Structure 1
Amino acid sequence: MIEMKSEILSIICIKPSSPTPSHLKIFRLSLLDQLSPTIHGNMTFFYTSNVKILSNLSQTLQDSLSQTLTLFYPLAGRLQDAATVDCNDEGVLFIEAQVNVQLSEFLSQPDFKLIDHLLPSTDSETMGLSNGAMLLVQFTSFTCGGMAISLSMNHKLADLSALVTFLQSWTNYSHSFHKPVVPDFIGPNLLPARDDFPNMSASVNISTAKFTLRRFVFSASKIAELKDRVYERFLQVMKRHPSRVEVVLALIWKCAIAANRSKSGSFKPSALFQAVNLRKRMTPPVPESAFGNFVWPFMVIAEEDNKDDLELHELVIDMRRAFNSFCRDMADKFKGEEGHLAILGALKERGEFFKNRKEMTVYKCTSWCKFPLYDTDFGWGKPVWHVSVNKMVSNTIALADTRSGDGIEAFITLDDEDMAIFEYNEELLKYATLNPSIACA
């Protein structure tokens, strides 16, 4: 067990390198932004380095961040209400810290309890200093010269794709390329926020039950085995090939349902929500550089079918059918004058569905696969690992590419009792490795 101690070296406010023009001072969010929860999501990138003088790297990050904020000016502002940002250039918080361990020690078997040392603090003192900042950054040095860069960004302004656009611009400025990816603030025009949605802003129900986070890694060869297992039946029904994400997610969901059944002694119907990036599924497609929230979940149901065990291929088929149905019938409706009606209808339908299904167990999944997160190079190489830690909500599944690009890491939260069963599931461990070491080389 590593005993990690951290020391804050400095806390400063980074403002845009150029002031925001007066005609851009008030930024109206899109309706999807308006409905997003006012929480900060986090992402941490780990880097090896032989550079001795870390202060130069910190200054490079600060200077390039200041340039980047000129383009992403809402991030340097403050929320005025659920649908408006005051782009007042108050800036973002930048924290520099150091820890007393080597990067290789930490990555030998990542301990998610220790990642708190690397994240911008959410304690009252730091949040008071941040004065409502939309973005907090922490740059942490390890004793070996390795580094961690953590971002904590308000979900009101950005989904993962928007975060990637921000990172691409920041890293380009850090390299002095001066050709950043310019954000496209198309969202408010595509689907404007509405004043008649005052109480509709999404909230995150912080789990009152104790839950556990675990990391499982699926190698390319094991994913191939999973695909082979469902391939014939899937192809027969869907006339297409199953994806990596589908087979891995189906197995995780299957094993989570089994753990819940083992704990309670009976089968409970289950719903799986999967987040979909709407950008490329609209007509015409929205640019990948579109900044804001362009995500909506579709739902897959697993109900009792008088079998002792759910069939993996059936879950994969159900997931693909639900995805196809959503993309065909719903994805293009989240825009224009009728867009708010589509959202109201979807929320009402979901509420009606769950009203009489109090016993249904709900899981939520997001996939970061195929997002170029391992290209986040500030000038001293690509990251050896990246991670986002969920400490608020149970029954979540986040999937990400391994550094090689052909495997999948799964970050799973379950209630303590469920996880105590889930993490020893023989079917799961046939395909996944629990929290293996991360090589720094």
Structure 2
Amino acid sequence: MEGNPKERKLEVKLRRKCVVKAESNSPSPEHPRKLTLSNLDLLSGRFPVTYLYLYRHSRSNGDLIDNSDTLFESLKTSLAKTLCYYYPFAGRIVEGLIICDNGGALLLEALANIPLSHLDFYNLNQTLEGIVVPCLDVNEFPFPLQVQVTCYTCGGTSITFTFDHALGDATAFGNFLSSWSRLARNMPPSFIPDLDLGRNLPPRVPPTYHPSFDHFFIKCTLEDIRNMPKTNISLKRLYFVDASSINRLQTLASVDGNKRTKIEAFSAYVWKIMATSIDESHAKCKMGWLVDGRGRLSHSSMSNYIGNVLSVTTEEASIVEIKQGSISDIADIVHKAITKVTNEAYFQDLIDWIECHKPGLMLPRFVLGREGPAVVISSGRRFPVAELDFGFGSPVLGTVSTTIENSGVGYMNQRTSGRGDGSWVVSAILWPQLAAALESESVLQPLCSSHLQKL
């Protein structure tokens, strides 16, 4: 007897793998095209980024293998079509260049020994280890795009998409995945990048920037990133936040006629909880936010640009100030911190700072874990979740994480839940004390199958 499936440990066996190349109209090994990484691409750090999507039972008969064959072949065919439009995703990243030679993307299929509903959704440390192809070192990550389809005993499916961050940011990856899902359903792509423009984010001549950039950013190497000081920021978690909690936080943050966004209100709440989780050796702590430069830069290629256009801004405050402040007081600090960088001048200064410090990679100093406790929050409200239908239904979950084992700072990434009711799924990388403090409240609920509709 197999025993209770809930008592079984997740085991995943690789069934097959293949390299998928663009089917036509693409640079070839004989005639490769070289794209120089933009200055903002150099700020990405070459980290692997993984998007995880879960799809409920979709088979029409009792044969799991036959069903997975159909699914795998459909994804393989539609990926080949998508890579024609996004051929850098089938290239290789070498010394500041994307070598577009149609080397291909890696597609794998695996079989799990449990039903999808028995995954430990909350504990991403365990779940990601089982259902994501390893790519812990960029030197051993020859495919900038790796996709793993995992089939479960119930007929449900998970798909993980792992990108080299130098390829692009969340907007670029979202456009790629959305276009792929539409092509899989025999529809035109949602977004066609203008790759003839390359990665065109030019510096000014001569480059110039505000002196504060020398204090905030640092030039580093892959070795520096790999050898960053060990921290205890290693817990990967998934949380559910219902719409009523989000709306309540926004109401608390918006007083005296100052309307605050949901992510500003959520940031204020997390910052206040974070202050209670920090030991007495620290008098201050930081909150950071990922900021998208699209819509802020006036370059003509921004409307169909594929690449990185992200930066990070932070604000530091005393722990006493955050503990004693109201949600609206802290939301005001958050709003001012984000507003001061959401403009063209800031992003142009950043492009110029990187130009003056090339070659190499660049990072905000605090990301290396050398400037005290910090949490970075990003909003994924525009990232496709329910829309990512590859022909077998909409996902019940879409979220993001990374296979990196240790982080210099905490991260929290918000996504719309698959329920379509205004609720969120929040992916987090935390230290134990912060996880415990957040979970002692009712806003962030450890994600479980009951939060996912019809799993």
Tell me which interval the TM-score lies in, with the shorter structure as reference length. 0.7 to 0.9
Query: Between Structure 1 and Structure 2, how many residues are aligned?
Result: 417
Q: TM-score, normalised by structure 2?
A: 0.81
Q: Output the amino acid matched with 1:407.
A: S
Structure 1 residues 395-432: Cα deviation after superposition (integer angstroms, max 9, x where no partner): 111122222251222222222344344432xxxx1433
Q: 1:170 to 1:308 in 2, by over 3 A?
A: closer
Instruction: Give runs of aligned pairs for residues 307-346 of structure 1, distance below 5 A.
Output: 309-328=324-343, 330-331=345-346, 333=348, 339-341=351-353
Q: Distance in 2 between matches of 1:158 and 1:359?
A: 27
Is 1:60 the counterpart of 2:88? The answer is no
CA RMSD of the aligned region, Å?
3.5
Give the equivalent residue in structure 2 for 1:50.
59
The amino acid that maps onto 1:122 is C
What does 1:359-378 correspond to in 2, within 5 Å?
360-378=372-390
CA contact (8 A) 2:45 2:362 kept: no
Offset of 1:384 from its aligned partner? 0.5
Alignment-derived partner of residue 40 in structure 2: 32
Distance 1:334 1:54 in 2: 50
For 2:290 and 2:400, locate their aligned partners in 1 and report how far apart those are by CA, in whole Å.
16
CA distance change for structure 1 residues 153 and 109 in 2, over 3 Å: closer, same or farther?
Answer: closer
**Which residue does 2:3 correspond to in 1?**
none
> Contact 1:34–1:201 (CA<8 Å) still a contact in 2?
no
Superposition pairs of residues 115-154 of structure 1, within 5 angstroms: 115-122=128-135, 132-154=142-164
1:46 and 1:148 in contact (8 A); partners too:
yes
Are the counterparts in 2 of residues 112 and 389 from structure 1 also a CA contact under 8 Å?
no
> What residue is the counterpart of 2:401 in the other structure?
389
Gaps of 5+ in 2: 1-6, 62-66, 208-217
- Quick check: 1:102–1:146 contact (8 Å CA) kept in 2? yes
Q: Partners of 2:164 and 2:27 in 1: how far apart?
A: 23
- 2:415 aligns with 400
Distance change >3 Å, CA 334–CA 382, structure 1 → 2? farther
Matched, 1:4 2:10: yes
Matches within 5 A, 1:41-440: 41-48=49-56, 49-52=58-61, 53-81=67-95, 83-106=96-119, 112-122=125-135, 132-179=142-189, 181-185=191-195, 186=197, 188-191=199-202, 204=225, 208-210=230-232, 211-233=234-256, 235=257, 240-260=258-278, 264-265=279-280, 268-283=283-298, 287-303=302-318, 309-328=324-343, 330-331=345-346, 333=348, 339-341=351-353, 360-390=372-402, 391-393=405-407, 394-403=409-418, 404=420, 406-424=422-440, 429-437=441-449, 438-440=451-453
User: What is the distance in 2 between the residues matched to 1:398 and 1:302?
Assistant: 22
Q: Which residue of 1 aligns with 2:212?
A: none
Distance 1:187 1:249, change over 3 A: farther
In 2, are the aligned partners of 1:401 and 1:408 still within 8 Å (CA)?
Answer: yes
Query: TM-score by structure 1 length?
Result: 0.83
Cα contact 2:417–2:424 (8 A) shared by 1:
yes
Equivalent pairs: percent with the same residue?
21
Deviates more, 1:41-50 or 1:31-40: 31-40
The alignment partner of 1:314 has SS state of: helix
- Work out the CA distance in 1 between the residues paired with 2:375 and 2:422: 25
Unaligned runs of 5+ in 1: none
Alpha-carbon distance change, 344 to 47 in structure 1, aligned in 2, over 3 angstroms: same
In the alignment, is the contact (CA less than 8 A) between 2:322 and 2:330 conserved in 1?
no
Pair 190,382 (structure 1): closer, same or farther in 2 beyond 3 Å: same
